Structure 1
């Protein structure tokens, strides 16, 4: 990975505001950036600290779900540039460019190129609206082969699945259980995107139970419970997720979390259950 650049000083937002104008902030290295309101503009709404990283993670959660490929999951590496606008009546819109890494323990830290995204948060409501494009990740045939190998591993699992802890108490994930974890991460990506707000984001910490369901076809169909770490409240949120997956077909997800917010209060337009499109163009 590239060495981190030293943090830049706080960026002073010095735009004059009228009630009909939005507050804008441009950044080039957001890793440790702070946002400061101009004192003589008390009506302005300040940008939350870390808004660019939060927007990038929301965009990647959405990207991973839409891609529907557990062998091609991405995680955030570095936010490279971004621009954010805040309108007190409308919410926060973020345009940004960021790099990603492959979510794979055997290739940890491998850079996968850039993504660009526009993310809109409707004030502090969940489910930001996302438009994201990433550079091509894998050769399509190789990705499909990896997904099918993972699918066969899932079909051959003999471990009792009703009660399980992944990772274990030492943070270890057995290789035989890696397919379960990757699918849980894939399904949780949808949940984490839907629950993200302008001030809250989520991280998958544990898969705590799995129940495999019988199907009339060859798809992987199971209910599982995950624990999500909610930042910045530091609460652990249990979520029950139902996932249906088959390589090359749309991913189907629905879920229920404790203290779940109602869909009509969300920023975006998708419902609390979803199906990915058959093919995602960025692959």
Structure 2
């Protein structure tokens, strides 16, 4: 009798797997035990997968079925739409001292609307990453199918909009406006995932500016994350606006591609980020993947 019980338990274990397995993204850095502290996370809570690897196919099929109506908050349809809200908030309210990240999707619903569009209604938690302030927000994202057009986004996150960073922004602005030698820097973060403290506002500013690209490029089938500032050059100030030339690397999480872009933009505390030029650079076969892009 005891032998039969052991056999049955072994079979059940092989079918269902461990009930506490968590799949986490793996960084490319040699030290995979430490995630880069300034990278914007996909969510704080990562999806738990029950069973063995072959169940991923079942999950993908389930995602497709759930893409209309109530959504699983941990599955791609809800996560992708919510990530677009993060990019939207950064384009509207981001600065060198105010950076928004998606913390959690609480609920979501998707429906087909007129003109082959898809509308997602979401309840999410958004975190201001620098000041570590979190707010629950309601958002609506509408994707246009069959064409490359920016998603339409509406989001109600009133408390996050009111975070006061004016003093830090003004100090940053005056520092670089009066800087006799124009700034130039590379590899934020470096190959060890490190950013010097005085360079962090430039990383934040590059992340905010890159959200204009990610918002413009995002579809129902993409999931973008900022990977690295490969190069930043300060240009002469124009009309009281700081001007920057950035070469950035984005990580498209679905295809696992690293996509390089050139960004020319201005910034001031009063005007925020104003993008003058966005140019996707040719694919670099010999380029190394930046560290900790997940």
The aligned runs of 1:92-103 (5 Å cut-off) are: 92-103=118-129
1:67 aligns to what?
Answer: 93
Shift of 1:143: 2.1
Residue by residue over 1:244-265, the C-alpha shift from the partner in whole angstroms, topping out at 9 and shown as x without a partner, is: 01102242113111479xxxxx
CA distances 1:226-278 after superposition (whole Å, capped 9, x unpaired): 00111211111110001101102242113111479xxxxxxxxxxxxxxxxxx
* Equivalent-residue separation in structure 2 for 1:183 and 1:150 (angstroms): 11
TM (norm. structure 2) is 0.68
In the alignment, which residue of structure 2 is the partner of 1:145?
Answer: 167
In structure 2, runs of 5+ residues without a counterpart are 1-42, 51-58, 284-294
1:25 equivalenced with 2:80 (yes/no)? no
In structure 2, how many angstroms separate the alpha carbons of the residues matched to 1:198 and 1:5?
A: 19
In the other structure, the counterpart of 2:105 is 79
Unmatched runs of 5 consecutive residues or more in structure 1: 15-22, 34-49, 261-283
Question: In the aligned structure 1, how far is the partner of 2:114 from the partner of 2:159?
Answer: 37
Q: 2:202 & 2:218 partners in 1: Cα distance?
A: 24
Per-residue deviation, residues 90-139 of structure 1 (Å, max 9, x unmatched): 032101110012222xx5xx451112111111125442111222131265
1:134 counterpart residue number: 157
Deviates more, 1:76-85 or 1:146-155: 146-155
CA contact (8 A) 1:124 1:197 kept: no
Q: What is the alpha-carbon distance in structure 1 between the residues aligned to residue 146 and residue 228 of structure 2?
A: 26
2:224 to 194, 198, 202: 202
**Superposition TM-score, scaled by structure 1 size:** 0.70
Q: Residue in 1 aligned with 2:32?
A: none
Q: Does residue 112 of the first structure (1) align with residue 127 of the second (2)?
A: no
Separation in 1, partners of 2:216, 2:233: 23
C-alpha displacement of 1:201 = 2.1
- Is 1:222 aligned to 2:244, yes or no? yes
Equivalent in the alignment of 2:3: none
User: Aligned to 2:237, what secondary structure does the other structure show?
Assistant: coil
Q: How many residues align?
A: 229
Distance 2:222 2:147 in 1: 10
Kept after mapping to 1: 8 A contact 2:117/2:144: yes
Structure number having the greater helix percentage: 2
